[in-house]
Amino acid sequence: MKNLHLIKQNELKNLHLIKHDELMKVIEGMNIPLECHGFVTPVTNDMIFTNDRLRRYRSGFAASIFFINRLLPAKRIHTAHSLNSYGLKHDVERWTGDMYICVPNGIFILAAVVCKLKYRRCKPGSHVESPNAVFNLYGIPDMLPPLTEWERALIKAEEDKYENYRLQWEKYEPA
């Protein structure tokens, strides 16, 4: 059977290491403005991505990439049956279990775009634009294989990098 995974294992090993400026270029190149909570809406336009926010959620970015790689890509986006970004971000958080990884909606969307998924903004609710996206994915998130030890170590390393960065800057902040 043909391998349907979006990212080959050797590419996956380095995908979580994408530099911040490269991620900012991906965000700038998207056809819909993206911020921390998802696509920009009139309500959430104050949470734009900064290097500090990207650093804070690198572990969520890495976990999202590992999660997405376990689902199967569809040829097109089926909005009626597709999994949306908000539900999937919660699936990633549950899937990482005792690691307690926080995955903002915008970080999950960014990981999906980096993994070369097709995406579309969800149809708006009653009067507000939706910050969520749907993708060309299908699968049952609750039945995915667990994180490998290698993946857990990489996610933990991203958490540790941010904690060291935060502690370093706390030394210089005025009390």
Q: Domain for residue 158, yes or no?
A: yes
Q: Domain for residue 91, yes or no?
A: yes
Q: Domain for residue 1, yes or no?
A: no
Question: How far, CA to CA in Å, does 165 sit from each of 85, 158, 170?
Answer: 28, 11, 9
- At 40-69, the pLDDT tens digits run 877 665 667 777 778 888 899 999 999 998
Q: Domain for residue 100, yes or no?
A: yes
Based on the structure, what is the number of domains in the chain?
Answer: 1
Which pLDDT belongs to residue 82? 61
**What's the chain look like in SS3?**
CCCCCCCCHHHHHHHCCCCHHHHHHHHHHCCCCEECCEECCCCCCCCECCHHHHHHCHHHHHHHHHHHCCCEECCCCCCCCCCEHHHHHHHHHHHCHHHCCCCCHHHHHHHHHHCCCCEEECCCCCCCCCCCEEECEECCHHHCCCCCHHHHHHHHHHHHHHHHHHHHHHCCCCC
Which pLDDT belongs to residue 95? 93
Residues of the chain with pLDDT under 70: 1-17, 43-47, 79-82, 125-128, 169, 171-175
Which pLDDT belongs to residue 74? 83
Q: Domain for residue 110, yes or no?
A: yes
Residue-number span of the structural domain to which 126 is assigned: 9-170
pTM: 0.83
